[in-house]
Amino acid sequence: MTYAVKEIYYTLQGEGAQAGRPAVFLRFAGCNLWSGLERDRESAVCTFCDTDFIGTNGPGGGKFKTASALVDAVKSEWPKESTRGQPYVICTGGEPLLQLDKPLIDAFHAEGFEVGVETNGTIEAPAGLDWICVSPKSTAPLVQRTGSELKLVYRQKDALPEKFEDLAFDFFYLQPMDGASRVAETAAAIEYCRTHPQWRLSLQTHKLVGIP
Ligand SMILES: C[S@@+](CC[C@H](N)C(=O)[O-])C[C@H]1O[C@@H](n2cnc3c(N)ncnc32)[C@H](O)[C@@H]1O
Ligand SMILES: Nc1nc2[nH]cc(C(=O)O)c2c(=O)[nH]1
Ligand code: SF4
Ligand SMILES: [Mg+2]
């Protein structure tokens, strides 16, 4: 299996229940719900994406021929001097489950990494993941219906919170849609959480403080 990777970088998880936790972000290239090209955005299933996931030209990006080569690249981003703090890799994208497989998860575990994933939920997650964040998109069929957190971008006309409230997740988050209406979406998300306390607010804290 060759893995196509847009970028690899060390930062803090900005979103959801693990916000603030240091992690290496492994951003896979490509997505099944949008080509990534602006000319296709309007007609895509997922129209509000905030990420460039095309190609392998980002920092630390490239094509990795083996799981072991990719684990080495991720490992090299984790601080060498640290003896405390569980090494943590977050597989994202694009859609990471187009590429993330059991051999790669096993290779991360063998090197002492916990493995998290950020997925749109349209592909079943492989066994062995330590943290599964599912973020449903519009009319796309939701296949991965269990996990650690369900982090719904709010508001999406065809994916309102009521559709997901009975699923088996440990946490339920609303994340205001970033874009031209971010302020209004944030106010709407706060009001929804206030009136439906199963749901918590997830702010994209990395954007607030200006880290990637
Ligand atoms: C870029 S996606 C990559 C992972 C996967 N394809 C997914 O959609 O979950 C990472 C996270 O950013 C969220 N996201 C993308 N665009 C956003 C936006 N404009 N505002 C708020 N969150 C956004 C996604 O819902 C997802 O939780
Ligand atoms: N700091 C930071 N936290 C994040 N959590 C999920 C992200 C993603 O793009 O998957 C993301 C991201 O892009 N940056
Ligand atoms: S599913 Fe995720 S990566 Fe794909 S376009 Fe939507 S937000 Fe972006
Ligand atoms: Mg992001």
Quickly list DSSP for 34-87: --S-GGGTTTSSS--------SS-STT-EEESSHHHHHHHHHTTS-TT--SS--
Of all protein residues, whose CA lies closest to atom 2 belonging to ligand 2? 14
Task: Name the percent of the chain lying above pLDDT 90.
Answer: 98
Q: What are phi and psi of 24, to 5 degrees?
A: -90, 125
DSSP type of residue 3: E
28-58 pLDDT, tens digit per residue, is: 999 999 999 999 999 999 999 999 999 999 9
In this predicted structure, what is the pLDDT of residue 81? Answer: 83
Q: Does the pLDDT of residue 26 top 90, yes or no? A: yes
In this predicted structure, what is the pLDDT of residue 144? Answer: 99
ipTM: 0.99
At 98, list the tokens. 């187009």
Task: Answer whether 60 contacts ligand 2 (Cβ < 6 A).
Answer: no
At 141, list the tokens. 């069929």
Distance 160 CA to ligand 2 centre (A): 22
56-70 pLDDT, tens digit per residue, is: 999 999 999 999 999
Strand, helix or coil for residue 90: strand
DSSP type of residue 21: -
- Integer Cα distance of 48 and 50 in angstroms: 6
Select from 31, 142, 175, 208 the residue to mutate for testing ligand 1; criterion: most ligand atoms less than 8 Å from CB.
175
In this predicted structure, what is the pLDDT of residue 183? Answer: 98
- Which one of the listed residues 28, 46, 53, 133 is annotated catalytic? 46
Total count of domains within the chain: 1
The residue range of the domain holding 139 is: 3-209
Q: Is 25 a catalytic residue?
A: yes
Average pLDDT over residues 72-101: 96
Q: Does the pLDDT of residue 82 top 90, yes or no? A: no
Distance 100 CA to ligand 1 centre (A): 17
124-176 pLDDT, tens digit per residue, is: 999 999 999 999 999 999 999 999 999 999 999 999 999 999 999 999 999 99
Task: Answer whether 13 contacts ligand 2 (Cβ < 6 A).
Answer: yes
In this predicted structure, what is the pLDDT of residue 46? Answer: 98
Q: In terms of C-beta density within 10 A (0-12 exposed, 13-18 middle, 19 or more buried), how is residue 22 classed?
A: middle
Distance 84 CA to ligand 3 centre (A): 33
Look over the chain and give the mean of its residue pLDDT values, rounded to a whole number: 98
CATH of the domain at 163: 3.20.20.70
In this predicted structure, what is the pLDDT of residue 83? Answer: 82
